[in-house]
Amino acid sequence: MSKGKNIFQNRTFLVAISFLLVMVLAAVIFGAEYSSAVSESEQKINSQNSQIKALESERDNLASKNAENESKIAKHQQELDDLDSVIKALESEIEHIKLTKAQMNSSKNSNSAGKNQDDNTPIDMSNLTAPNKGYKVCYLTFDDGPSDNTLKILDILKKANAKASFFVIGTSKLDYIKRIHAEGHTVALHANQHEYSKIYKNETNYFNDLNAISNKVKNLIGIEPKIIRFPGGSSNAVSKKYNKGIMTRLTKQVQQKGYTYVDWNVDSTDASGNNVSKDKILKNIKTYSKGRGDICVLMHDTAAKNTTVEALPEIIAYLRGQGYRFEALTTESTVFHHGVNN
């Protein structure tokens, strides 16, 4: 009995030991599998982190390239805008050259009454004598700007303590009128788009264009200029190609709307070609101002008019020596009107 009991106890012990060994083995196997699973998960996490970092790096590189491309696009757009401004200025020059030649031919074929023999432009006789104020006035005027040359002109005017008037168009440098206005010069209106075929097609087109440049100026300096100059002047004959009699009507209509239009009686002829020599510009002004009272001098401040800038100090010195004072145009200034040819 005692022997059977011992055998049973031994078997029970062996079973317990075996069970314990099985449990230990199972724990070892589970632990190994768990460790392997954890290690595999950590590897996946590390791999995904690496992918995330790679994607973030690629994103940053793309963002940097995009910013660089946007900067290049902006730079190219500015270059295109500048080129467009130069093209428009050159187109304006071509039109003005044609106009000047047409006026000169018209002058040669017309009667000499009502003209100064030293000038090719028909003008009112009232322009030939100065009002009784004891001195003569010179109104320096610049068309078709502003451009970078405008800033150089402003520097010269400031140094010479002289005032001028700028008949502006819708160039990419229109913001420069803030300085023109701040330094006491007159900001006047010329055109938004200096294209004869469009603005002289009909009266509606003309006034739409005039309102467009007026609004741009008002947005920049807070005023609506009432002094204007017709592209080509009121005497232009080019407008006949687009609308017969339009200048006869416009010269009346602008005044009815409260505008004062201003032509000129001294032409520097700086628009008669590219790079007209500064000596020729000065000579023309000396010739056409001879014997006159108040004068209104036509010049241009486009990007191409470097020789006008070069001639300006000598122009001011010469006219000052002839007894002229340099004033900016106002609605009360001497009237400078050409004879209307259309």
Residues involved in catalysis: 143, 300
Residues with Cβ < 8 Å from 73, sequence gap 6 or more? Answer: none
Which parts of the chain are beta strand (E)?
136-145, 164-169, 186-191, 227-228, 260-261, 266-267, 295-300, 324-326
Distance CA 338, CA 263 (A): 6
Angle between helices 306-321 and 148-160 (to 10 degrees): 20
Instruction: Report whether 304 contacts 89 (CB < 8 A).
Output: yes
Angle between helices 306-321 and 278-289 (to 10 degrees): 40
User: What does residue 129 show for φ and ψ, rounded to 5 degrees?
Assistant: -125, 145
Nearest CA to 223 among 261, 173, 176, 189?
189
- The total number of residues shown for the chain amounts to 342
Angle between helices 246-256 and 203-221 (to 10 degrees): 40
- Per the structure block, which two tokens stand in for 115? 């003209």
Nearest CA to 188 among 295, 329, 82, 292?
329
- DSSP 3-state of 325: strand
Distance CA 288, CA 194 (A): 26
- Per the structure block, which two tokens stand in for 212? 């467009």
Task: Give the strand pairing for 324-326 and 136-145.
Answer: parallel
What single-letter amino acid sits at 71? S
What single-letter amino acid sits at 256? Q
Instruction: Report whether 163 contacts 325 (CB < 8 A).
Output: no
